Structure formats: structure tokens, C-alpha cells
């Protein structure tokens, strides 16, 4: 090209108002990744497609860059303030560095739009805008022919509704193009359709959805349909615009994998070009005789015809028989089967299930596919993903219980009474630390109370302190299969990020390692405090819990007994006595433990002024056991030297106080028996005498009953109060030792364990409720639920390298802690169906509420409140590049140990199941593998210790489904690896259980990963439709865990 140097020099010196953009930038040339010189500051002026580089604002231009056949490369990092300008000619790239990120972004946009291609894009965009304005004017002109009253009424949303079935989509249609014209004759088109909606009330164009890309044909049959859910405001007057694009490179088509504002059109240089567009009214499609429209596709100026587009109305409830040959022929080169978005499947939209499930599940995203079977029929698959309100409800309930429990414990420590200076200082230190932790829990609860909006915690928020109790990315993933010959089937998987304390970090490992290390250190605390084993401290907490639960119950039953006596009601008296006896026996049994007696002695020695008459002598375990026989001294209290026996302490006093409760109850029982016996004999004698005299004697006898029972009941309460006081103090002293031995590590570990457990429990409650709702009519499952319990199988995809090893340790402890959770099903008394959580750490009961109609379907045992046990098991196989490092250079022992331990738990559940349940209650799968054989196969695979042996996960998942269990799939964020695993599991089920055609397995897999619910999950989390993998990472992945081309790339997570 020829340039006039003088004219360019004059142009560079023109006033600032004559330039598109100007400012200071640091600039240098770059070859490859190396800068030829250090960036130098230049004053830059942009005019059209010319960029002038000057040493300062007043100097002459030292260089002119022509911005043609070039493109801008932006850096994704939030801190980068530089861009690179690349040239097709091969000349060195231009490195440009701005002073700030906003300035850098502004220069990137200005430079990207400076060339002639950018100008053409602006012209095309203006032409499209003019066309839309013309359409709006046509609509406004139609209003001019109506009376003003009608115009006003049309201004309101009083449009013609579309007739539809309840809980079904308002509108669904499929798309196909014919005779598309390419820009160049030899070009093979790779096309997709973007669907936009023009709302009749606002006349605003809103981008709605897109189809998949169909490659290498001018007559594409799009297998992705369009659906409008029941709540979407669409009417017969609504217009739908269909825009066809040609994709040059799927991997560069960033528009389809990122979120753009509705009013912005994508730039043409991002991998696609505009072909044509067409618009139709919804009413025309719905009312058409054949329920089909054929539209002409035109270029942006409305002149040139570039092909036709067919719109076919779809009715979801109809099976498409006999069409497979036609579709297969037309779609031979296409990589997806039919995908349409849809509303919730029938299992989630039944009239009875709807209220209770709506309280739990929110914001469902649904897709619909059709795949061919091996016998040349079509099957329909509905895929659903929904978030749950339990993500926040369960943690808030738990934190509230933690606060109450900790406040109660702090008060119990204060109520210990006067202690010797050493122990008193220890108590003050413990209470101070506990108050700090309590304040932290209260602040967290207050912050969660302020949360509004989404019901799930995104993967980007996993390190936020205020959300550390919330599970990461918790969703229900459901597949509903409608087969032409087989029975419909439902498959659920709960997907959630691995329960772990991300905010606290994993520098020192996870809970599994930290708890083991802490326990070892606590054994060697020296003489500062008394060592109690974890079993003893757990027992102390249980005793305190029983006291707090049983004491008020016994008092209320005692009052009811006196009330029955005052009313002279024999039947009521018998019932009250029965309840009082049962609760008192439980109360007495709770203290029948050597720990209470030994703790009382330890507490006695900690009182001020206590002088030991016997010196402290270390003793062997044999001597301690001898003491237990002859001196009733505890061998459960251990220290560097055991607690000595105090000669002035009367160890039999506790036995007397404890036994007095039982003796007092016996006195009450004897008195009631005597009163009832006298009453029976007096009735026999008085039956022959005057009735009026008999009534007087009854009234007098009623007074006698109350007067005779009252002192005995008061004695029972007093004895019980004495036992409670002593037992509470002794158990609080045990807890004081536990806390004092490990401050502040003990409280920090408790916090970490609470965080991990909260995340794990939220997922478990969601899984239990969904399983219960879907199996209400399965009597075999309900019998299994109350007879054996529920199997809950977790599939982990974490590596055993670096931080993920710590996550796996947290996850293993959190899932193991779920064994102590019990469920109870109750009838809902209001419209609030959210579960109720009661209990304390290590002993929680989850009360699941069901509407009356659903509650009546349950077996009598469950309706009577029988507690339902959980059997959680975890199997983990790392599949990413970090696991490759662990297998070759690190250690996989953690994974092997976890898998082996949980295999034993799974075998234990299977043995319990075979003992108590008939085999006919198991689900009847098409692929009938013997459960025992599957367990043996799983055992062999775990023992084999092969690298990335994903068969372990497949076998564990199959066993879980065959045992009516609940399935979980977890990775770090439940976003990328989880998506690969869930979609693989779904397609494997379709192949093994529903006869998916073998030639369509990979196509079905790619379709679910490219257009299904899981890519929507990625979008929800990181605002980008790309799995966070790169090519190097995927080389380390097992074959079937790799996403299709164009669906992965760099994305913040």
C-alpha cells in the first residue's frame, strides 16, 4: 500500500476531538512469547483503522499501525491490563499495556472494531435493528385501526392464551433448514439457530435459546427443539425470531459458551457468521392445519433469499413410531439425538407430590431427548436438574442446634461449683474459648439469615467464610425414561461438591488425619488434665442429653399421676403410672455406668481444700482392674498417673443416691396397687348399699388417693433431682477435661467437623426426601426402609494429591458421621413441609413431614414413628491429572483404605438385608447380575489396586441401585468431573437397562454433555458454558470421562 507521509503527519497532529480514542499505552513488538524490547510508553491516537504511536502528546507520530487483517487477544485474568494485537501477515505481534483494567478493556473493544470488518458488522447490526423497528411499527399501525378502549385493553397482558395440558409446556417445536446458501460455493456449512422472542406487550427482542451445531450439510435437521415452560408468558400474539448462523470453528465459537446481555449482538470474528433470519407468530403455528410452518430465510437487508426453515409443533406425550429410519438417514453426520427443554417429569409434578416437593426443589432445568433402541424404536428421555432449598435450611437448623447445645454446655461448666485454683483457671480458659466459638456460630447464623436469592452455593463461593456450612452446588439430577416396550423408569443422583472445610484450608490435611493426630497428642498431655477416651466423652454427652430429655418427661408424668389421683380415675392412674415407670427406668439405666462413679471421684479431688491421704502411684492395667473389683475404682480414667482413691470419699454414696430413685418408684407403684385394690373391694361392698352414700365415699377416697400419693411423688422428684445434680456435674467435669486437654485445637476441630457434617447432612436429607417421594407406592422398599435401613452410596472423584487429599479426608469423616443420623416420618400439620431437625452432635433425628394423603400410604411401623437408620458408604477413584501424579510419584493409600473400609460396611448391609428381607423386594433390572457376584467383583477390583480403576464406581453404583439405595456423585465442585460421571452413568443405564442402540451410545453421551442439564449447571456456577478442562488434563482422564470438542476450555471456578 502507498501512503502520503505528509498527510499522515498532519492527521496525527489534529485536535483530540477528531480521534476515536487516545491515551498513554506501553507498547512493544512480540515474537512468539518473547518481547523484542521492554515496553515503552507512547501516546496513542486511534482514527478509523489507523493507530498513531507518538513519544508524547505534542511530538510527531513515530509509527503508524494499520488495523486490517488483525485481531485482538485478551487475557482472562482479572489482574491483567495488557492485550496483544496479532496480524495475519505474520509480522511481529504488538504488545499493548494500559494503566488499568477498564482502560485495557476499552482499548480492546476500540481496536477490535477499528477494521473494515468491524464496520461491516456495525452496518449489519443497524440493518437488523431497522427490520425489527419496521416490525414494531407494523404492530403499532394495526393499533391505529382499533378504538382507543381496545388499544388500552391490549396494553394490558390480555392476550390469547395457548391451550395446553396442566403441568405441560405451553409450546414446543422442532426446527429444520433446507437449501441454505453458503457465502462461498465450496464451503460446507456448520449451522445452528438462535431463537429470540418478541413479547407483544413490550416489543422487545429477548434471546431465548439455541439449537446444537449441525455440521457439513446445507439441509440441517436440528435435533434440539425449543420449549416454553408453563409459567413463561407466551401467547398467540407473541412473535418468534429465528436467526441462522454458520460456525467456522466450534472451539472458537465463544458466543454459545458465554453469557451476553440480551441487547448485544456477538462480533462476527468470534467464530461464526450471519446467514439469514425469519419471524413468525405463535398463533400461526398453533392454528396451522398441519401444525407446521415453512418460512423463507432472508439476509439482514431483507432482500436475498438464503434458504427455508421448517417449524414443526411438537406434542411431548406422543411416541414417534416408525420414524427411526428417516431420522437416522437425515442425521447421519450429526452428533446429537433429539434434545428439547421441557418441564418437570411426571414423578415431580403429581398432584399429591407437588406441594411437599415444591418446598424442597426449586428452579428446575429440564431437557428432553429421543434415542433409538436396538429394535429400531424410539425411546424418550427426560432429564431434570433442580436445586434445593435444603442447601440453606438444613445448615441453619444445625447451627441453631449447635448454639443451643454449646450454651447449655457453657452453663453446665459454670454450674460445676467451686473448684481448686488449678481447675478453676482451666474452667475459665475453656469458657472464654467456648464463648468465642459460640459468638462465631451466632454471627454465621445471622449472615445466613440475610441470604436471599438462589437456593444453591456456586463453586465460585466455596471459599467464602459466611457460606462454609452450605453444601457446594447441591442439585438433584434425574433421568426419566419412557420406553415403547419397557416400563417407565426413574433414576436419581444427588450431585454435590465434596463436603469439606474449604475456608479453613488443607495445609495440614483433612479431618481424618487431624483427628488422629489430635487424639495421639491428647493422650500425652501430662498432668494438666485427666485423659478420657473419645468413647467416654461421647458417653458423657449422651448422659447429659438423656438427663435433659428425661427429667422434664418424668416430672410431667408424675404430675399427671397426681392429677389422675385427684380425679379418682383408676384407668387414667394406671396409664400415668405405666408412662412414669417406663421413663424412670430409662432414667435409672442411663446412670448405670462406671464412668459416672469415676467422674464423681475425680470431681471430688478437684474441689478446693481436698487433701489426699494416699500418694499418687502409677499403676498397671492389671492393678486397675483389681481396683475395679475390690474398690469400685474406675479403670476408664487414665493419665500419666491414674486418679488416686481418696480415703475420705464415700464411693457407696452415689450408689445409694442412684438406688433411691428406683426405691421411690417402687413405693409409688406399691401405693397405686394398694389404692386400686382397695377401690375394687369397696366397689363390691358398696354395690349393695345406698348409692348416695357410695358417691360421698368416692369423693372422700379421691382426696385420700392424692394425699397418699403426693409425699411419695415428691420424694421421687427429690431423689431424681439429687441424681441429676451430681450426674450433671460429673459429666460436665469430663467434658471440661476433653476441652482443656486440647485448647484451642479441640474447638477448631469441632468447628471443622460441624462444617463438613452440615454439608453432608444437607445432601442426605435431600436424597432421603426424594427417595421417599418416588417410592411411596413401593411396599418392598418401605418394608426395607423400616426393617433394615437405607443404603446411601457416595461416589467420589477426588484425587489423593495436594489439597484434594485433604478434601477426601474431610469427606470420609463427614460421610461416616452420617451413620449417627436417624430419620422419622411424621404427618404435616401445616403447609410448611420442610424437615425438622432435633438432637445434638453425634445424635440427630430428622423429622420428614408428609401431607396426610401421602402419610397414609406408609406402613404402620413408620407411621408410629419408628426411627429409620442410614448406612452411608463412600467409594473414591481419582480420575484427573493430579491422580496421575499421586499414582506415579505420591501415595494412594488413603483412597485404598477408604474403599476397603466401606466395602466392609457395604457387605455388612448386604448381609443384614439378606437376613431380614425377601429377595422379591429388589428392583427388577434388565441386566440381572447376582448381587453376591457384584460384591465379589467389587472386592476383587478394590484389591487389584489398578490405576484409575473406574470400574469400582460403576460396580458400587449398580449395587446401590439394586439395593434400593440413594446415589450421590461428588467431586471438588460437583461441576466438571461430576458432570462427566453423571452423564456416563445415565447413558450406561440406557444401554444396559433400556436397549439403547449401540451405535448411538457415544452420540447420546456427547448430546447430554453438550446440550443437557449439566452444561446448564456449569453456566449457573461460572457464567460460562464450558467445562473447566484443558487438553493436557483430558489426556490423563479415562476415555469415557472426556467431554466433546468445543465444550471445554479455560473457565474460572
CA–CA separation, 651 and 633 (whole Å): 9
Give Cβ neighbours of residue 263 (< 8 Å, ≥ 6 apart): none
Three cell numbers written together for 163: 391451550
| H helices, E strands: number in the chain | 30, 28
CB 367 within 8 A of CB 342: yes
Q: How far apart are CA 458 and CA 186, in angstroms?
A: 46
- Using CA atoms, how far apart are residues 775 and 961, in angstroms rounded to an integer? 13
- The grid cell for 1046 is 468445543
The tally of CA atoms less than 13 A away on the side-chain side of residue 749 is 20
Rounded to whole angstroms, how far apart are CA atoms 334 and 214?
6
Taking CB atoms within 8 Å and a gap of at least 24, the contacts of 610-617 are 610/420, 610/646, 612/644, 612/646, 613/646, 613/647, 613/648, 614/644, 614/645, 614/646, 614/647, 615/644, 616/641, 616/644, 617/641, 617/644
Cell numbers at residue 942, please?
478394590
Distance CA 764, CA 390 (A): 10
- Beta strand ranges found along 505-585 (DSSP E): none
The answer for 1049, left when phi > 0, alpha when psi is -120 to 50, beta otherwise, is left
Cis peptide bond N-terminal to 744, omega within 30: yes
First to last CA, the chain: 47
Task: Answer for the pair 1047, 1010: CB distance below 8 angstroms, yes or no.
Answer: yes
Whether 971 is a known active-site residue: answer yes
Q: Calculate helix-pair angle for 421-449, 745-774, nearest 10 degrees.
A: 40
- C-beta of residue 515 within 8 angstroms of C-beta of residue 816: no
Other CB atoms within 10 Å distance of the CB of residue 104: 19
DSSP 225-255: EEEE-TTS---TT-EEEEEEEEES-GGG-TT
d(CA 965, CA 931): 13
Spot the catalytic one: 336, 766, 971, 987.
971
Give the CA diameter of the chain.
139
Residue 540 φ/ψ, nearest 5 degrees: -60, -45
DSSP symbols for 981-1027: HHHHHHHHHHHHHH-B-GGGHHHHHHHHHHHSHHHHHHHHHHSBSSB
Q: If DSSP codes are grouped into helix, strand and coil, which group holds residue 1053?
A: coil
Q: Given the C-alpha cell 471421684, which residue does it identify?
A: 601
Residue for grid cell 447449655 = 408
Which residues does residue 378 pair with via DSSP β-bridges, in sequence order?
372
How many whole angstroms separate alpha carbon 299 and alpha carbon 297? 7
| 773, 356 Cβ separation under 8 angstroms | yes
Phi, psi of 378 (to 5 degrees): -95, 140
Listed in sequence order, the residues at least 6 apart from 934 whose beta carbon sits closer than 8 Å to its beta carbon are 955, 958, 959, 962
Task: Tell me which residue has cell 474441689.
Answer: 607
CA of 978: how far to CAs of 493, 558, 688, in Å?
A: 11, 56, 84
Q: Which residues are annotated as catalytic?
A: 971
Amino acid at each position: 500500500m502507498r501512503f502520503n507521509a505528509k498527510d499522515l503527519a498532519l492527521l496525527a497532529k489534529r485536535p483530540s476531538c477528531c480521534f476515536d480514542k487516545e491515551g498513554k499505552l506501553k507498547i512493544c513488538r512480540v515474537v512468539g512469547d518473547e518481547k523484542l524490547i521492554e515496553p515503552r510508553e507512547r501516546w496513542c491516537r486511534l482514527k478509523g483503522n489507523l493507530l498513531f504511536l507518538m513519544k508524547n502528546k505534542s511530538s510527531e507520530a513515530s509509527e503508524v499501525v494499520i488495523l486490517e487483517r488483525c485481531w485482538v487477544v485478551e487475557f482472562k485474568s482479572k489482574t491483567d491490563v495488557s492485550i496483544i494485537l496479532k496480524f495475519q501477515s505474520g509480522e511481529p505481534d504488538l504488545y499493548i499495556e494500559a494503566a488499568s483494567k477498564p482502560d485495557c478493556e476499552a482499548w480492546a473493544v476500540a481496536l477490535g472494531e477499528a477494521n473494515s470488518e468491524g464496520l461491516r458488522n456495525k452496518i449489519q447490526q443497524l440493518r437488523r435493528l431497522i427490520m425489527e423497528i419496521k416490525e414494531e411499527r407494523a404492530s403499532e399501525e394495526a393499533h391505529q385501526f382499533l378504538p382507543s378502549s381496545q388499544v388500552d385493553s391490549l396494553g394490558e397482558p390480555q392476550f390469547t392464551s395457548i391451550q395446553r395440558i396442566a403441568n405441560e409446556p405451553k409450546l414446543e417445536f422442532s426446527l429444520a433448514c433446507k437449501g441454505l446458501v453458503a457465502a462461498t460455493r465450496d464451503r460446507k456449512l456448520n449451522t445452528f439457530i438462535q431463537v429470540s422472542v418478541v413479547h407483544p406487550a413490550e416489543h422487545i427482542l429477548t434471546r431465548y435459546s439455541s439449537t446444537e451445531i449441525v455440521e457439513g450439510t446445507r439441509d440441517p435437521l436440528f435435533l434440539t427443539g425449543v420449549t416454553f415452560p408453563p409459567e413463561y408468558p407466551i401467547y398467540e400474539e407473541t412473535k418468534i425470531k429465528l436467526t441462522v448462523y454458520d460456525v467456522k470453528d466450534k472451539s472458537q465459537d465463544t458466543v454459545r459458551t458465554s453469557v451476553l446481555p440480551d441487547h448485544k449482538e456477538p462480533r462476527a470474528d468470534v467464530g461464526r457468521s450471519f446467514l439469514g433470519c425469519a419471524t413468525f407468530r405463535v398463533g400461526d403455528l398453533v392454528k396451522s392445519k398441519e401444525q407446521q410452518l415453512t418460512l423463507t430465510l432472508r439476509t439482514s437487508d431483507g432482500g436475498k433469499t438464503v434458504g427455508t426453515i421448517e417449524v414443526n409443533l411438537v406434542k411431548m406425550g406422543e411416541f414417534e413410531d416408525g420414524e427411526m429410519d428417516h431420522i437416522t438417514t437425515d442425521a447421519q453426520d450429526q452428533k446429537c439425538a433429539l434434545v428439547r427443554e421441557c418441564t418437570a417429569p411426571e414423578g415431580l409434578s403429581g398432584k399429591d407430590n407437588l406441594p411437599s416437593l415444591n418446598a424442597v426443589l426449586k428452579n428446575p432445568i429440564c431437557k428432553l431427548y429421543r434415542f433409538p433402541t436396538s429394535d429400531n424404536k424410539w425411546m424418550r428421555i427426560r432429564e431434570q436438574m433442580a436445586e434445593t432449598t435444603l442447601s440453606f435450611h438444613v445448615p441453619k437448623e444445625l447451627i441453631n442446634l449447635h448454639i443451643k447445645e454449646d450454651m447449655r454446655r457453657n452453663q453446665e461448666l459454670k454450674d460445676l461449683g467451686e473448684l481448686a485454683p488449678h481447675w478453676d483457671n482451666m474452667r475459665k480458659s475453656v469458657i472464654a474459648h467456648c464463648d468465642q466459638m459460640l459468638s462465631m456460630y451466632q454471627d454465621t447464623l445471622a449472615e445466613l439469615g440475610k441470604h436471599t436469592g438462589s437456593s444453591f452455593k456456586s463453586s465460585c463461593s466455596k471459599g467464602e467464610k459466611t457460606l462454609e456450612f452450605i453444601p457446594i452446588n447441591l442439585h438433584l439430577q434425574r433421568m426419566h425414561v419412557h420406553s415403547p416396550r419397557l416400563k417407565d423408569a426413574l433414576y436419581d443422583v444427588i450431585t454435590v461438591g465434596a463436603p469439606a472445610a474449604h475456608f479453613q484450608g488443607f495445609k495440614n490435611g483433612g479431618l481424618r488425619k487431624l483427628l488422629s493426630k489430635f487424639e495421639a497428642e491428647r493422650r500425652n498431655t501430662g498432668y494438666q488434665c485427666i485423659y478420657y477416651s473419645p468413647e467416654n466423652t461421647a458417653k458423657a454427652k449422651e448422659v447429659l442429653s438423656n438427663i435433659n430429655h428425661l427429667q422434664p418427661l418424668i416430672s410431667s408424668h408424675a404430675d399427671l399421676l397426681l392429677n389422675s389421683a385427684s380425679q379418682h380415675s383408676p384407668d387414667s392412674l394406671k396409664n400415668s403410672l405405666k408412662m412414669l415407670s417406663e421413663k424412670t427406668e430409662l432414667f435409672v439405666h442411663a446412670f448405670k455406668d462406671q464412668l459416672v462413679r469415676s467422674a464423681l471421684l475425680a470431681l471430688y479431688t478437684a474441689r478446693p481444700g481436698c487433701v489426699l491421704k494416699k500418694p499418687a502411684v502409677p499403676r498397671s492395667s492389671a492393678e486397675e482392674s483389681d481396683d475395679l473389683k475390690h474398690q469400685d475404682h474406675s479403670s476408664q480414667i487414665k493419665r500419666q498417673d491414674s486418679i488416686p482413691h481418696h480415703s475420705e470419699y464415700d464411693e457407696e454414696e452415689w450408689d445409694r443416691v442412684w438406688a433411691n430413685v428406683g426405691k421411690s418408684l417402687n413405693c409409688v407403684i406399691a401405693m397405686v396397687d394398694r389404692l386400686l385394690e382397695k377401690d375394687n373391694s369397696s366397689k363390691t361392698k358398696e354395690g349393695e348399699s345406698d348409692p348416695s352414700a357410695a358417691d360421698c365415699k368416692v369423693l372422700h377416697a379421691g382426696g385420700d388417693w392424692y394425699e397418699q400419693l403426693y409425699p411419695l411423688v415428691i420424694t421421687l422428684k427429690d431423689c431424681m433431682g439429687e441424681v441429676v445434680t451430681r450426674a450433671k456435674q460429673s459429666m460436665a467435669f469430663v467434658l471440661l477435661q476433653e476441652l482443656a486437654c486440647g485448647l484451642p485445637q479441640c474447638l477448631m476441630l469441632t468447628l471443622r467437623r460441624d462444617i463438613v457434617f452440615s454439608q453432608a447432612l444437607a445432601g442426605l436429607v435431600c436424597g432421603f426426601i426424594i427417595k421417599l417421594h418416588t417410592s411411596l407406592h413401593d411396599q418392598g422398599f418401605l418394608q426395607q426402609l423400616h426393617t433394615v435401613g437405607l443404603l446411601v452410596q457416595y461416589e467420589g472423584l477426588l484425587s489423593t494429591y495436594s489439597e484434594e487429599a485433604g478434601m477426601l479426608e474431610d469427606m470420609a469423616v463427614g460421610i461416616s458421621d452420617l451413620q449417627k443420623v436417624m430419620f422419622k416420618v411424621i404427618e404435616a400439620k401445616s403447609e410448611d413441609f420442610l424437615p425438622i431437625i432435633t438432637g445434638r452432635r453425634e445424635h440427630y433425628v430428622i423429622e420428614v413431614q408428609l401431607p396426610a394423603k401421602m402419610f397414609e400410604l406408609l406402613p404402620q411401623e413408620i407411621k408410629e414413628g419408628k426411627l429409620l437408620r442410614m448406612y452411608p458408604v463412600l467409594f473414591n477413584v481419582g480420575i484427573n491429572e493430579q491422580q496421575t501424579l499421586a499414582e506415579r510419584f505420591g501415595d494412594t493409600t488413603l483412597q485404598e483404605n477408604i474403599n476397603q473400609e466401606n466395602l466392609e460396611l457395604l457387605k455388612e448391609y448386604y448381609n443384614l438385608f439378606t437376613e431380614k428381607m425377601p429377595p422379591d423386594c429388589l428392583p427388577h433390572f434388565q441386566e440381572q447380575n447376582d448381587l453376591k457376584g457384584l460384591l465379589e467383583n467389587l472386592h476383587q477390583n478394590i484389591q487389584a489396586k489398578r490405576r484409575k480403576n473406574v470400574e469400582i464406581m460403576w460396580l458400587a453404583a449398580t449395587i446401590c441401585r439394586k439395593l434400593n439405595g440413594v446415589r450421590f456423585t461428588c467431586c471438588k465442585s460437583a461441576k466438571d468431573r461430576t458432570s462427566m460421571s453423571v452423564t456416563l452413568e445415565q447413558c450406561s443405564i440406557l444401554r444396559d437397562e433400556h436397549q439403547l442402540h449401540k451405535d448411538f451410545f457415544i452420540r447420546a453421551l456427547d448430546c447430554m454433555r453438550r446440550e443437557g442439564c449439566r452444561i446448564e449447571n456449569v453456566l449457573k456456577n461460572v457464567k460460562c458454558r464450558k467445562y473447566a478442562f484443558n487438553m493436557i488434563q483430558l489426556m490423563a482422564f479415562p476415555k469415557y470421562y472426556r467431554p466433546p470438542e468445543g465444550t471445554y476450555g479455560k473457565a474460572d471456578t
